[in-house]
Structure 1
């Protein structure tokens, strides 16, 4: 069996065991991952910056006793610093080249991971499809005519294509879970404060954004979290510590859990039969595992909640563009994409007092949500309302394109203050992904579960959201579901190595 085939077949823990035993060297793995990255690059377009030379040099000195020694890895091109490596954020704005590593980067390297590339993202992570003017369209290894989701779509493409077994990802409105749902992966959105973002930032998007990974296996997600979580002196807060190692939680039976299922769209929009099939499959799996499940409603999660979230994101984008202006010494509005420019202008229309009020409303709804679901160990709900979309499906066309162009060229952003106009824009932005932002606002953990493949051969995952700080329960439940369902054996069949 070739090293590339071994890379394609194994998860990160399996590869590390081969390195630790001496069956494979870190350099062999790096070379295989680089070869596979290049072989699939033209078809999936998931690489922002190749790091090949540095990866080969690092492989020569990696300590084989490290927990993930020599495992090839990808780091997202957004919100994390790698010393000397350009961070584009999926944008045509001149990149930021840090002279330091993020704490998370240091923890990855200390675990023995070997970054071979940075992965693509939409501009500033603002779209849940990985398509940008700077880097083009990132495509699914399952079917290159379809999206990987976003914003960690490059990460999910690389993992599902077998280039790397795990990849760094981040999630501010579903950006770990949506790509996982679209590409058949496990994607854990961690509790707020679980993994530090320092020293690059203290928090991002008012605390909505968290960092972790997309992985093939539950145990990989658990081990990687063990190796990267925990407080940092520069981080303003931290999630409560786990009772035991996360990898131990993934290895033990969850016991009999009290679960709920939420089936409604917060926007009141249609949900596809395929999404409901996926949710039904998840319910069937957990019932087979011996758990109790009941259907619930979450009335505090409604159109107002989603609109408030979107307005806070617009405010954050406006602030980010101001910071980019300061970094570059000039306005960057001409460099960014039209949609980013419009969102930033809309955010500028909100006063500080209005933004504070919006955040307080979200916090109040979050408290109601956490109280209403406190008796459940986890709540199952969809991630995507439809199977993975065709590439380009979310780009404005026809009259929508004309309207967006007019809003931009004529500086008519104030029209978005009209409730009916904004409501239409909200639907067009979030009709595919109305659920994931819930946990970004509440700070709860949630894990994407690759339970289903459609008749057309496209993955369609759902999520289980836990109590704040409840990653251990989610990992234990997910590992049991992985065993029952057999999803770990599924692979995208793009350029299967010999």
Structure 2
């Protein structure tokens, strides 16, 4: 098989070739590794290469499973492979091996996937970009000067550049949908409890986080949902599953839907004209397909929602730093300055403040539930603007130098009230203000690559469904994929331009 032939298949297609004996997993791994060597130096999409693991998996006799023989990459956050570190995008954890596989990794191995590395992520997954002090900046294959999003930015870059057809991802505030929107991929965040995590974690971020994948085709994500969604007796949530495989969704058109759409930022911040056009364009396409589409949105106080989301997130970052220091022997000052700021703010909040913020999540859930009484789906931009430039949200060195001694003094309460912290939050959320709602409410949501800017940049559109609507979302995504195919729309080959450093 040639490289151009490899690029023409999704994961299901490659698995079919393996099952028919037309290609061997070792050949596919060689193609993936060659592709990686060619494009990754310019992208910095892979944080850990596990070639020896991939070789062993590719040489398994009689490969079996729904995706047997397909090359695959894990996200370097919570997707533990025993004996190898899960860095979470941070330097202190780069040498701490995982004791056992995570449940998702066990299921991917059982599905026959050939795991050969891990992809970059911002530190603890805390940004909508993928830039860290430990690993540098990960770049977008569509424009090497721009971000592939975060926190699953490395996986998005790897899939968009053709290293693998599908890769591991996770979503706690948009971390599947944002990178999908930045790189022209399909990304579905499952609803709360459908994909069990564990065993090391049970209910991260009060149920806002879910594992998943980024893919080029809708059917790859559907098959992955079948692989990842069986119930786990140790999971904190048990939710109903469809009585048929998710894969069936891609061959069955959806019923005619009622869809409300809005392009107004819930933060009240400006929304780029291209993001507005992406939504109006999608609305017109949906109407052409026979759906009822009209302007509408849930009446949620987006600024309060952002505050309540960040209250929980910063507390989570503080606990993650504490745990990382415990297992690695590192110090809080060994982490990125932005991470230290988030942790300081998280430590400054009292338990009553944290619980009050989390209690308000119920208010947003009920308001969105009321919206879904009237509409099947909510349509919004996935991003507030096209993928931002590398370094645009980077904390200036001078600010970092000033903050470091202040953080050592334990001034979290003061920092939480500073313009710097407010600007840090706004910078991180104003470009991506639409995605956190689905995490807080536990609703399934997806980003679909229906739009490209005049400059050739992807800009996905987001759909948010009611509880249990994953099958419906996949049906609609497959209908949009057929009406406006995107799989063959690829970025130019990202051969290493020596003038563009990975950092």
> Aligning the two structures, in what range does the TM-score lie when normalised by the shorter sequence?
over 0.9
Displacement of 1:146: 1.0
Is the deviation greater in 411-420 or in 444-453?
411-420
Take 1:390 and 1:422, find their aligned partners in 2: how far apart are those partners?
Answer: 21
What runs of 5+ residues in structure 2 fail to find an aligned partner? Answer: 496-503
> Taking structure 1 as the reference length, what is the TM-score of the superposition?
0.95
Aligned residue number for residue 60 of structure 1: 59
Aligned residue number for residue 125 of structure 1: 125
Instruction: Report SS of the residue matched to 1:199.
Output: coil
Aligned residue number for residue 387 of structure 1: 386
Aligned residue number for residue 70 of structure 1: 69
Aligned pairs for 1:19-418 (under 5 A) are 19-61=18-60, 63-95=62-94, 96-328=96-328, 330=329, 332-397=331-396, 404=403, 407-408=406-407, 411-418=410-417
Displacement of 1:473: 0.4
Take 1:88 and 1:359, find their aligned partners in 2: how far apart are those partners?
Answer: 28
Aligned residue number for residue 447 of structure 1: 446
8 Å contact from structure 2 (residues 172, 205) kept in 1? yes
Is the deviation greater in 302-311 or in 421-430?
421-430
Aligned residue number for residue 500 of structure 2: none
Distance 1:28 1:425, change over 3 A: closer
Take 1:112 and 1:263, find their aligned partners in 2: how far apart are those partners?
Answer: 41
> Taking structure 2 as the reference length, what is the TM-score of the superposition?
0.94
Take 1:407 and 1:382, find their aligned partners in 2: how far apart are those partners?
Answer: 38
Instruction: Report SS of the residue matched to 1:293.
Output: strand
Is the deviation greater in 281-290 or in 421-430?
421-430
Is the deviation greater in 331-340 or in 215-224?
331-340
Displacement of 1:433: 0.6
Take 2:417 and 2:59, find their aligned partners in 1: how far apart are those partners?
Answer: 60
8 Å contact from structure 2 (residues 73, 167) kept in 1? yes
Is the deviation greater in 332-341 or in 151-160?
332-341
8 Å contact from structure 1 (residues 62, 70) kept in 2? no
Displacement of 1:396: 2.6
What runs of 5+ residues in structure 1 fail to find an aligned partner? Answer: none
Distance 1:424 1:138, change over 3 A: closer
Is the deviation greater in 265-274 or in 376-385?
376-385
Instruction: Report SS of the residue matched to 2:146.
Output: strand
Distance 1:463 1:204, change over 3 A: same
Take 1:398 and 1:340, find their aligned partners in 2: how far apart are those partners?
Answer: 15
8 Å contact from structure 2 (residues 146, 389) kept in 1? yes
Displacement of 1:318: 1.3
Deviation digits for residues 196-251 of structure 1 (CA, Å, limit 9, x no counterpart): 11102002112111100000000110011111112112211133212321110121
Distance 1:332 1:62, change over 3 A: farther
8 Å contact from structure 1 (residues 223, 246) kept in 2? yes
Take 2:303 and 2:221, find their aligned partners in 1: how far apart are those partners?
Answer: 32
Take 1:413 and 1:98, find their aligned partners in 2: how far apart are those partners?
Answer: 31
Take 2:316 and 2:264, find their aligned partners in 1: how far apart are those partners?
Answer: 28
Displacement of 1:322: 2.1
Distance 1:260 1:231, change over 3 A: same
Take 1:25 and 1:255, find their aligned partners in 2: how far apart are those partners?
Answer: 40
